[in-house]
A and B are shown apart, each in its own frame.
Chain A
Amino acid sequence: MIFTFSEDYETALEILAKGREIADSLRLELAAISIGKHDDIEDTYIFCGADKVYSIDSELHADIVVDCLCSLINQYKPELLLIGGTRLGKEVAPRIAQKFGVGCATDCVDFSLEKGEFIVKRFVLGGRFIATQRFLRKPQIVTVPPRRFGKKLDTARTGKIIKTTLKPAQSRVQVLEKKDKTSQMLRIEEADIIVSGGRGFKKKEDLKLVESLAKVLGGAVGCSRSVAADLKWLPEEHWVGLSGHKVKPKLYIAIGISGQVQHIAGIRDSKTIIAINNDPNAPIFKSCDYGIVGDLYEIVPKLTEILQ
């Protein structure tokens, strides 16, 4: 059996699509685990690939997820667990792996089967290298980044929904307060065009130049880590790179971004990359399709005007 779990609805559907492919090749059953309090998502899980859905009505918390998944693993002995690579997913996957004394591979970007053996790939060393790994024990546990794979819906599919009566242990972590992040949830991973600004901008207000260009092109605004994390000029959902969001637009325009490996790691899958930078030796020019050397304060307003 293969298990899938993600508390994030979209990600749950994406990993089901991937899980279905693997389950078909290995002739295994695919079971989605649904933990939380929500109405009627089980049918969609089946339409998206699950043969079975184990549904657990409970609070959603890491301790509880670990407890529930471990009970189900003991009961059904799955070969493979695909876990959505959200922050919760990346906490529970290694915890479960440690309990069973097995390996775990986080943020896997590719899966394959070689002679029936499950092989994964993940980025290492700042995203400049890719490691190909295999598991030495079962269950094999992986996390899959959100928005990496597409979902597949087939409303003709049928399956079985099993409401379990698991009573998870109490969480040892007590949540005192939840503060929603204010900005409207931007899903930069889904944008076709992204215009990103870096430290080449001298003040926060100047990012208006990025916004207007993005607006003219109907694209989203992105930024480097410096802009999001150090200067805090933009909220985190705009942050592109290894530790931010990994994007794959048709067109990525990097303005005043030097192009350090960790930034490139997030834009590697873009179709076309364009760079605007006043330093001809900036590394971004080695990672772009088209570049223009010059002052962004001159180039960006002119470019926006022409494109308008």
Chain B
Amino acid sequence: MFIVPFVVRLFGCGEVIVDIIVCIKQIYDLGQITVDTATKHPITEGAARKISDFDKNALEEAVRIKEKHGGNVFALIGGTKEAAKEALAMGTDEAFIYSADTDSLGTATILAGIIHKIKYDLILCGEASIDEFSFQIGPRLAEALGIPVLTYARKMELKDTEIIVERNLENRYEVAKARLPALVTVTKEINEPRIPTLLQILGASKKRITEISLEKPEAGVENLSITAIEMKRKEVILNDIEELAKIIMSEKS
């Protein structure tokens, strides 16, 4: 009974079946965050929450690999059931949710702790979360798990027991490969995430969401403050092009 899938996995028709974990962060819709006029601190009350943009690309890519090769997609979500439901509707098989308010060191440590207990071949992350935009978790997690990391993927392909990606670097694209298990961080350009159908949304309610509770891990940095950046601009509206040209000439020199 147990031997069959194992054999299929290794030798089955040149096909590979992989189990993929996608790391997802639920964030506040940045456009809905307001500023406290007195303290200049962000106010998140009332702001809608959503899955961070590039994490949707990671999820989409995982589901496409599953559709092509088989296997399972697990979502590991820093966030609520709402995010889990959205991930499940997009094609995730099972979701794990947790919440912890910590920094990149803490988050990577938590994720590594959970992932240690799951069987996987491939882990996908977004290149960055759009609120923190720190590009840290993917590389940190790979390091914590001791697996190779391929960052900034704009294309990826599974071949036997290897993952081949095209990376988007400053001056060039680089095609690189690593042996599974490996971690890949994806860019926005890798795909266009699907919008689940009503049927898929309804179907998602039958899938399993596991809540994980954790102790707060140690952090490496501490926020002393987060304050709105004030733009002091003149905001002068001009009426004619001549006037605009004059201003450009004087600003130019």
Contact = CB atoms under 8 A, between A and B. Distances in A.
Nearest to B108: A98
Given A125-B226, A289-B235, A242 B221 contact: no
A48 to B, nearest CB: 21
Interface string A226-259: 0001000000000000110000001101000000
A108 B115 CA distance: 30
A124 B132 contact: yes
Contacts of A128: 30, 33, 228-229
B173 A99 contact: no
A162 interface: no
Interface in A269-308: 271-274, 280, 285-293, 299, 302-303, 306-307
A268 interface: yes
A250 B227 contact: no
Contacts of A285: 235, 237
A156 interface: no
Nearest to B238: A292
Given A179-B172, A307-B248, A129 B42 contact: yes
B159 to A, nearest CB: 11
A106 B134 contact: yes
Nearest to B242: A306
A256 to B, nearest CB: 15
A134 B226 contact: no
B105 interface: yes
B99 interface: no
A123 B221 contact: no
B139 A175 contact: no
A105 B103 CA distance: 10
Interface of A: 8, 62-63, 66, 86-88, 90-95, 97-99, 101-107, 119, 122-137, 172-181, 185, 193, 217, 229, 242-243, 250-251, 253, 261, 264, 268, 271-274, 280, 285-293, 299, 302-303, 306-307
B7 interface: no
B173 A129 contact: no
A75 B131 CA distance: 36
Contacts of A290: 234, 236-238, 244, 247
The 5 closest A-B pairs by CB, nearest first: A103-B220, A103-B221, A94-B136, A126-B30, A98-B140
Contacts of A105: 134, 221
Nearest to A289: B234
A280 B238 CA distance: 12
B251 A250 contact: yes
Contacts of A292: 237-239, 241, 244
A287 B233 contact: yes
Nearest to B27: A125
B221 A134 contact: yes
A274 B252 CA distance: 12
B177 A176 contact: yes
B233 A289 contact: yes
Given A98-B144, A124-B131, A136 B221 contact: yes
Contacts of B137: 94
B104 A104 contact: yes
Interface stretch (B13-21, B80-88, B148-156, B196-204): B148-156
Interface residues of B, number: 71
Contact of B30 (A102, A125, A217): A125
A175 B173 CA distance: 11
B178 A129 contact: no
B224 interface: yes
B238 A291 contact: yes
Nearest to A264: B231
B18 to A, nearest CB: 18
Residue of A173, A292, A303 with most partner-chain B CB within 10 A:
A173
A288 B30 contact: no
Interface string B176-197: 1111000000001100000000
A87 to B, nearest CB: 5
B37 interface: no
B188 A229 contact: yes
B170 A289 contact: no
Contacts of A250: 251-252
B223 A289 contact: no
Contacts of A302: 241
A168 B244 CA distance: 58
A288 B244 contact: no
A278 to B, nearest CB: 13
Contacts of B104: 94, 97, 103-104
Nearest to A225: B188
Contact of B175 (A131, A176, A288): A176
Contacts of B174: 175, 177-179
Nearest to A302: B241
A109 to B, nearest CB: 10
A106 B248 contact: no
Contacts of B220: 97, 101-104, 135-137
